[in-house]
Structure 1
Amino acid sequence: MVQVQDALGSRTVFRRPTYARFWLARVCSTISYQMAGVAVGWQMYSLTHSTFALGMVGLVQFLPMLLLMLVVGHVADRFPRRTIIAICQVVESVTIALLAVATLLHHVHPVGIFCAVAALGAARAFESPSTQALVPTLVEDELVPQAIAWSSSANQTASIVGPALGGLLYALGAHIPYSACAVLYLTASTLSISIRPRRAVPGKAPVTANSLFSGIHFIREQKNILGAISLDLFVVLLGGATALLPAYAHDILHTGPWGLGLLRLSPAVGALTTSVFLAHHPLHRGAGRKMFTAVIIFGIATIAFALSHTLWLSMPLLMILGSADVVSVVVRSSLVQLETPDVMRGRVSAVNSLFIGTSNQLGEFESGVTASWFGLIPATILGGIGSVLIALAWMRLFPGLRKLERIGS
């Protein structure tokens, strides 16, 4: 059994051409998304000089995910997921290309940017659950945690490269990063359509009221999945220190934009390093216990970061924070995919995507509100304490998740 497991090591994942194409498509798509985020943010602020407009960009992008949650999951369970992903990436490419043309012709307007962002949000609403549900069909079940870890490494790589590349290209003209994004999205689409899953999408079940809500019902009945998803939701809601990094850079650490760039880079570096480690050394024992431990470390790192007044101390603390977060991500994602029947993975992934999107968006809002009420440092400390308390409470509320040994066993 050990020999079989060794033969199916994480390096073998990339010997499968179909998974290599999936990973490259993921990198291209996510780098493009990160670059577009930088370009849209800079352009919107230069046009409006309004922080409210910047906040609305995130809200406009999130609303399609909320409104389409029940639909996108069903689509992912009824049609070839690689085709859905490829179509979404073509839509994203065309949308970004139109922004590039409008910018080049000096016809760009905030309303047009909002429309483009809404279109991108709608495309990602379909793309995200299809991508999550596709991963388990590309490799053997015992390789799913490694495959998810490598997929997470693609996201973290893009989080490092994308913003830096977007800012660099924006200095050459706003239309340049948009044009690069359009090309990357088209490349991702070409790679996605060439993916050949090991298992096809199950037969098309009739659409009924019960089937539309079946993803929600399934998660409610599966206590381990419910515990893992809700744990991530509340921890990110409370412990969203990264949303306050501009204020920390300016008011606490007294550094400039270069310092803010280093702060933003640090969690992604920690997360990427841990993702690669987990891809080679999956969590074979005590997965639930290690997930809760990682969340507690996340909370402690948040508190320590809040108390730091030195950039060179804050950076490694943020690396620890990102590293702990990705452990939770890999366990949760593996649990959701391996304990969900393939026929329902799209609908369950759609709910999971909504939880992730909700926690990220509302987490930024909550961090800003509490910081305005209590002050920057106290608010971050409270968020870190809240993360630790949530982890301790969830260990009692979901004992099966705490005792979970192997994912997918």
Structure 2
Amino acid sequence: MKRFLIDVEPLRVSAAFRRLWIGQVVSMFGAQLAFVAVLVQIWEQTNSTIWTGAVGLAKALPLIVLGLFAGAAVDRFERRRLYLITTIGSLLAAMAMAAQLLTGAMPAGALLGVIAIQSAFGAASGPVARSVLPQLLPRELLAGGIALNRIAFQGAMLIGPAAGGLIVGAWGPGTAYLIDCLTFAAVLYGVLGLPLLKVEAEVRPGLRGVADGLVFVASTPVIRGALITDLAVTVLSMPISLFPAINAERFGNDPRTLGLFLTAIAVGGVVASVLSGSYTRLPRPGVVMLIGAGSWGVALGLFAFAPNPWLALAFLASAGAADTVSVVARSTIVQLHTPNELLGRVAAAEQIVGSAGPNLGNVRGGVTAQFTSPMTALVSGAVLCVAAVVAVAATTPGLRKTVDLTSVP
């Protein structure tokens, strides 16, 4: 049974990873509180799925525009210092949102602007967080470390949205933003505990350095296939922007119920993370990723036709489990096949896919629902998701091959 449970060995062998992981657990919880608060505030001010979808656009655009340049910076400069700068920048943006406790609610457009600024700092903090992992853990423990990071995220999603709904319902969005600010102390503790993380190889400045990373991604079939799979899936089928409308139609528009939608996804994700030993030790992460990505689409299709709310939540939990399996396997593929001097740029490309992709998917879902219906948006996304996964599996045979977990890329 132990073989099927999550591998906690990375927490034992690396004190720096352990401190950083604890900080991320706490900070991610605060981020989930803020996310629910943003959705509620935007929905109350606009009553429009286009505006709730625009939250995803505000998060996605800075990642797309700045991500690859930020990734080149991660490969060029000392990573601990860069991580600290980006964390402080994100904290300042969170403080601007919390200031609404004193100044009153800012307009929806202004709030989206602050979110975009925070996402701009995230364009660098995401790749640097991914790139430090192989410098803190041995190669054979990378998949376990990725799974631990994933359970931190899913655990925050499990508790954060439900807690966010309660906090926002009782004291308003400003209180949730304030708690988010306070949780940044934990991630700062983790970053300050990192050793110096220099990159020995020289990175060409400007567009040439960015181009080197893109050439590597494009010329490495398994990485290219992994990123295309996730990009296609997330852009085509992400349902989060539809949740406020579904909540209003079926659950009485209660903020506490809105949190349950996200919590249901997290429940499945936590279960998949706890049992991650059953797939992180497998020598074919590409096959694991394809199965997880396809199962996400199937589960969302079933959610669209669920005859009662409890069954709907069960299908969302299944989708969350499938998503976690796919994400862990994708990140494992990327990190096992990327040399250290390119990790920042490849991690930036992965972040654009993993973060901007879902946000663009939320825009797609919101716009589709506005002009058709939430049901149409869900079903069309689920069908396109499964079709995209089948296409990638058929055209990328390298994803079906065994990976050596001990050799250096």
Distance 1:408 1:308, change over 3 A: farther
The Cα offsets for residues 355-408 of structure 1, whole Å up to 9 and x where unpaired, read as 223321221122234445554334423322222222222111001112345567
1:12 partner letter = E
Q: Is the 8 A contact 2:304 2:375 kept in 1?
A: yes
Q: Is the 8 A contact 1:338 1:408 kept in 2?
A: no
SS at the partner of 1:202?
Answer: coil
Structure-2 separation of matches of 1:265 and 1:120: 24
Q: Which moved more, 1:306-315 or 1:293-302?
A: 293-302
* Deviation (angstroms), 1:181: 1.6
Structure-2 separation of matches of 1:146 and 1:11: 7
Distance 1:10 1:129, change over 3 A: same
1:245 aligns with 2:232: no
1:162 equivalent in structure 2: 160
* Deviation (angstroms), 1:306: 1.7
Distance 1:253 1:403, change over 3 A: farther
2:314 equivalent in structure 1: 316
2:220 equivalent in structure 1: 222
SS at the partner of 2:205?
Answer: coil
Structure-1 separation of matches of 2:286 and 2:320: 18
2:296 partner letter = F
Q: Is the 8 A contact 2:63 2:352 kept in 1?
A: yes
1:140 equivalent in structure 2: 138
Q: Is the 8 A contact 1:286 1:406 kept in 2?
A: no
The Cα offsets for residues 107-126 of structure 1, whole Å up to 9 and x where unpaired, read as 84555434422321111111
Structure-1 separation of matches of 2:368 and 2:108: 29
Identity of aligned residues (%): 29
Picking from 326, 329, 349, the partner of 1:328 is: 326
* Deviation (angstroms), 1:182: 1.6
Q: Which moved more, 1:280-289 or 1:325-334?
A: 280-289
SS at the partner of 1:213?
Answer: helix
Distance 1:298 1:280, change over 3 A: closer
Distance 1:260 1:408, change over 3 A: farther
Distance 1:125 1:393, change over 3 A: same
2:176 equivalent in structure 1: 177
1:193 equivalent in structure 2: 192
Q: Which structure's relative contact order is higher, taking Cα pairs within 8 Å and 6+ residues apart?
A: 2
* Deviation (angstroms), 1:174: 4.1
Q: Is the 8 A contact 2:95 2:181 kept in 1?
A: yes
Give the TM-score normalised by structure 1: 0.88
1:86 partner letter = L
Structure-2 separation of matches of 1:380 and 1:50: 17
1:12 equivalent in structure 2: 9
* Deviation (angstroms), 1:48: 5.6
1:14 partner letter = L
Any unmatched runs of 5+ in structure 1?
Answer: 1-5
Structure-2 separation of matches of 1:117 and 1:338: 32
Picking from 260, 263, 271, the partner of 1:262 is: 260
1:151 equivalent in structure 2: 149
Q: Is the 8 A contact 2:162 2:260 kept in 1?
A: no
Q: Is the 8 A contact 1:299 1:385 kept in 2?
A: yes
RMSD of equivalent CA atoms: 2.7
Distance 1:149 1:113, change over 3 A: same
2:385 equivalent in structure 1: 387
* Deviation (angstroms), 1:313: 1.3
1:191 partner letter = G
* Deviation (angstroms), 1:344: 0.6
Structure-1 separation of matches of 2:41 and 2:258: 19
1:59 aligns with 2:52: no
1:368 equivalent in structure 2: 366
* Deviation (angstroms), 1:349: 0.8
Q: Is the 8 A contact 2:71 2:127 kept in 1?
A: yes
Q: Which moved more, 1:47-56 or 1:84-93?
A: 47-56
Q: Is the 8 A contact 2:71 2:348 kept in 1?
A: yes
* Deviation (angstroms), 1:128: 0.5
1:213 aligns with 2:211: yes
Structure-2 separation of matches of 1:59 and 1:369: 12
Picking from 268, 284, 301, the partner of 1:286 is: 284
Count of residues in correspondence between the two structures:
401
Give the TM-score normalised by structure 2: 0.88
SS at the partner of 1:150?
Answer: helix
Distance 1:53 1:298, change over 3 A: closer
The Cα offsets for residues 55-105 of structure 1, whole Å up to 9 and x where unpaired, read as 444323322212212320111112232322222222222232233335314
Distance 1:310 1:408, change over 3 A: farther
Q: Is the 8 A contact 2:33 2:161 kept in 1?
A: yes
Q: Is the 8 A contact 1:295 1:325 kept in 2?
A: yes
Q: Which moved more, 1:88-97 or 1:150-159?
A: 88-97
Distance 1:254 1:310, change over 3 A: farther
Q: Is the 8 A contact 2:40 2:255 kept in 1?
A: no
2:300 equivalent in structure 1: 302
